[in-house]
């Protein structure tokens, strides 16, 4: 084994252990409140063990009220691991061990895809702080595998991996939109159709058995996401805390999302050189999260690998670290704000939390702009000059379209 690989594995193990140490204060108090927020060690792993009947080995999608509010593969992982333990602490420890293994694998995969940035993932502070909040890494590693195979034009394996990822957490469905943009722009329409069919078929194979046998429990995840209002971490929640009370949040969030997707589509077709899938994926997923009605602390786990793979120039690293810094500050802010509602003597008040939420969103938008500008510069290789600056693109690209 090469020395660099050994160092990477060692770093990933140390980061996994550091993250476990961060969560360990909650084990000593069995995740009691307000301690789990004060010490920023809250995790869905033990919280849902009892709340969703996993301690009774109840099928993940039985009924509608206590059914798992996640897609099928995540529910199966939660259900299967519940049979191997008999307490919330043991459940957390066992699932954390599996997540640590996934993290180590993800570190090696990202390093293979972007060798010049190989040390960024295991030392990403916001990534390490969020490892054991939820089961997201199960879906993230299959999403990154989909990107890996897509870049190698192995579309069959890529579409299978993406179908599995979407069946684990629904977020990667937006990566499918990124893939559609790229293949359409390349005029690979047949490959695009095949890719969508295989991805959809994989999702159906995984979901249909559960949807047909326990339809109410299976639908609960989609129902909750459709009906939820503005929630923690979102632009809309921050504005509400600042006294800007907007009505019809569902419509506004959808409108902002459609404007963002439309802008990204025009941007992609304007480029002369197709950007990497990771770059488009980060820009699109980050845009979705900015427009979303909720921003959970573990969402940074999705964006960090994409950001590292997308980084192609050392001059853009400053934007990456600004964004990571904003995420780790927000990670602390959300828990200290929640502590106020659970009996803590001190916590983060509404105004400060709203400000830090908006600061995180601003840092995300800045990083999106840096990646978009880099892609524009990479496109300035002969022929018609699209736009040398992102400002020009935003305000002048419409001239090319009647």
Domains: count for the chain: 1
- Running DSSP on this structure, what letter comes out for residue 172? T
- pTM for the full predicted model: 0.92
pLDDT in tens, 187-197: 899 999 999 99
267 pLDDT more than 60: yes
Domain that holds residue 145: 3-400
Residue 180 has a pLDDT of 93
Strand, coil or helix: what is 128? helix
Residue 395 has a pLDDT of 47
Residue 386 has a pLDDT of 42
Burial class (CB in 10 A: 0-12, 13-18, 19+), 236: buried
DSSP string covering 208-249: HHHHHHSHHHHHHHHHHHHH--S-TTSHHHHHHHTT---S-H
pLDDT in tens, 270-318: 888 889 999 999 999 999 999 999 999 999 999 999 999 999 889 999 9
Residue 74 has a pLDDT of 97
Kindly indicate the confidence band of residue 87, based on its pLDDT and cuts at 50, 70 and 90. Answer: very high
Residue 401 has a pLDDT of 37
19 pLDDT more than 90: yes
Mean pLDDT value across residues 85-112: 97
% of the chain residues with pLDDT over 90: 77
The H or E element that residue 114 is part of is: none
pLDDT in tens, 216-241: 999 999 888 888 778 899 999 999 99
Average model confidence (pLDDT) across the chain: 91
193 or 268, higher pLDDT: 193
- DSSP-H helix ranges across 292-344: 300-310, 317-339
End-to-end CA distance of the chain: 58
Do the beta carbons of residue 135 and residue 40 sit within 8 Å?
A: no
64 pLDDT more than 90: no
Distance of CA 251 to the CA centre of its chain: 23
Mean pLDDT value across residues 237-261: 92
DSSP string covering 199-219: HHHHHHHHHHHHHHHSHHHHH
Mean pLDDT value across residues 341-361: 92
95 pLDDT more than 60: yes
Distances (CA, A) of 110 to 17, 182, 374: 20, 21, 20
Kindly indicate the confidence band of residue 325, based on its pLDDT and cuts at 50, 70 and 90. Answer: very high
pLDDT in tens, 358-399: 999 999 999 999 999 998 888 765 444 444 444 454 444 444
- Dihedral (CA of 314, 316, 321, 324) sign: negative
Q: Dihedral, CA atoms, 227, 64, 94, 38, nearest 10 degrees?
A: 50
Give the CB-side neighbour count of residue 133, counting CA atoms within 13 A.
Answer: 21
pLDDT in tens, 141-186: 999 999 999 999 999 999 999 999 999 999 999 999 999 999 998 8
Tokens found for residue 136? 């997201």
Residue 246 has a pLDDT of 86
Tokens found for residue 262? 């439309």
């Amino acid at each position: 084994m090469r020395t660099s690989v050994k160092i990477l594995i060692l770093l990933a193990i140390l980061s996994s252990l550091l993250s476990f140490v961060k969560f360990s204060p909650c084990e000593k108090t069995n995740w009691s409140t307000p301690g789990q927020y004060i010490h920023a060690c809250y995790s869905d792993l033990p919280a849902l063990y009892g709340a969703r009947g996993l301690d009774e080995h109840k099928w993940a999608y039985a009924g509608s009220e206590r059914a798992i509010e996640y897609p099928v593969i995540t529910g199966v992982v939660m259900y299967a691991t519940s049979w191997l333990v008999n307490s919330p602490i043991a459940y957390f420890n066992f699932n954390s061990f599996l997540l640590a293994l996934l993290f180590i694998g993800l570190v090696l995969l990202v390093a293979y895809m972007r060798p010049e940035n190989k040390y960024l993932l295991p030392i990403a502070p916001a990534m390490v702080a969020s490892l054991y909040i939820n089961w997201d890494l199960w879906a993230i590693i299959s999403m990154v595998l989909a990107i890996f195979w897509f870049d190698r034009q192995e579309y069959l394996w890529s579409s299978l991996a993406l179908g599995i990822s979407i069946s684990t957490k629904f977020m990667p469905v937006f990566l499918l939109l990124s893939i559609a943009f790229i293949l359409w722009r390349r005029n690979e329409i047949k490959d695009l159709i095949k890719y969508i069919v295989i991805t959809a078929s994989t999702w159906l194979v995984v979901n249909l058995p559960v949807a047909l046998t326990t339809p109410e429990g299976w639908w609960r995840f989609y129902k909750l996401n459709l009906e939820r209002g503005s929630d923690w971490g979102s632009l809309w929640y921050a504005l509400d805390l600042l006294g800007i009370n907007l009505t019809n949040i569902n419509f506004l969030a959808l409108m902002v999302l459609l404007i963002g997707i439309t802008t990204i589509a025009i941007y992609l077709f304007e480029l002369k050189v197709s950007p990497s899938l990771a770059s488009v994926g980060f820009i699109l997923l980050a845009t979705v999260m900015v427009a979303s009605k909720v921003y959970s602390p573990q969402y940074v786990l999705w964006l960090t690998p994409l950001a590292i793979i997308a980084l192609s120039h050392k001059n853009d690293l400053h934007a990456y670290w600004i964004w990571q810094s904003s995420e780790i500050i927000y990670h602390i802010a959300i828990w200290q704000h929640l502590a106020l509602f659970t009996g803590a003597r001190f916590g983060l008040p509404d105004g400060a939390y709203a400000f830090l939420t908006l600061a995180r969103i601003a840092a995300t938008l800045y990083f999106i702009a840096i990646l978009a500008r880099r892609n524009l510069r990479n496109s300035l290789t002969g022929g018609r000059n699209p736009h040398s600056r992102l400002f020009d693109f935003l305000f002048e690209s419409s001239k090319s379209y009647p």
